[in-house]
Amino acid sequence: METNYGDIVLKLYNETPKHRDNFVKLVKDGHYNGLLFHRVIKDFMIQGGDPTSKNAPKGEMLGEGDLDYTVPAEFVYPKYFHRRGVLSAARQGDDVNPEKASSASHFFIVTGKVFNDSTLLNMEQQQNQQRLNQAFDTLARKHMKEIYKLRKAGKHEELMDLQEKLMAEAEAEVSRTPEFRFTPEQVKAYTTVGGTPHLDGAYTVFGEVVEGMDVVDSIQQVKTDRHDRPEVDVVIKKVTIEE
């Protein structure tokens, strides 16, 4: 990947064949040539692939352009996770994309930051609490009519009893699967080279930088506007495939 900041060499994973083949096809079609890294956030990632970014006027907000299809999610987790230097697929949010399907052309390269053990432990606890909350909310939605009647009738004790019953059911449901824990490989990576652990299991990691991480670091340092677009264009001049 030739940029106006230098070259980045990427390796694509065979374990994510749909993303690999899609990326290769776009490269061979010349899709990425002339596009921008249109979204750059220091200590997080650099993102490119918006087809409308080619020759986009200075200051124009970018990021909404895409091709007319998505790529099904291919999570190879926890083997591949969002450590520094990985290539991952961007996508629309869960509210409109619950299957977590990837954008056809948007990608990002993780820069991230280094975390300490206590921060990772807090993340694990938050993840497990979120699982419990989601299980409880699902059960509560099934009892909404009953909850509404109890509230309307002012039966607070019965309402509390129902809440305790549903929480017990939620805890029992969650206990059937192991609690979320980072693997030793994740802990080692996130406490040494760094990354973006909150993206794990939610975005498809399909490759990694093998040369040119210094170029990625140079790009993440550029000055950006309020939409995270670099004030001076970071251009993907040309992308080629070596098979």
What's the rounded Cα separation, in Å, for the pair 55 and 68? 21
Burial bucket for residue 209 (CB in 10 Å: 0-12, 13-18, 19+): buried
Which pLDDT value is given to residue 194?
98
Q: How far is CA 118 from CA 125, 219, 235, in A?
A: 11, 30, 39
Would the pLDDT of 243 be above 90?
A: no
Q: How far is CA 110 from CA 48, 58, 60, 173, 191, in A?
A: 12, 25, 24, 34, 15
What is the arithmetic mean of pLDDT over 33-53? 98
**Overall number of domains in the chain:** 2
What's the rounded Cα separation, in Å, for the pair 91 and 105? 9
Does 179 fall in a domain?
no
- H-helix or E-strand containing 127? helix 117-142
| pLDDT tens string 140-187 | 999 999 999 999 999 999 999 999 999 999 999 999 999 999 999 999
Does 84 fall in a domain?
yes
Q: Tokens 């991952």 belong to which residue?
A: 88
Which pLDDT value is given to residue 158?
95
Judgement on whether residues 96 and 199 belong to the same structural domain of the protein: yes
Judgement on whether residues 74 and 136 belong to the same structural domain of the protein: no
Judgement on whether residues 150 and 69 belong to the same structural domain of the protein: no
pTM equals 0.90
Does 183 fall in a domain?
no
Which pLDDT value is given to residue 131?
94
Which pLDDT value is given to residue 22?
98
Judgement on whether residues 19 and 99 belong to the same structural domain of the protein: yes
Judgement on whether residues 8 and 76 belong to the same structural domain of the protein: yes
Would the pLDDT of 211 be above 80?
A: yes
Does 187 fall in a domain?
no
Domain of residue 60 covers: 2-112+193-238
| pLDDT tens string 81-123 | 999 999 999 999 999 999 999 999 999 999 999 999 999 999 9
Does 77 fall in a domain?
yes
Judgement on whether residues 15 and 93 belong to the same structural domain of the protein: yes
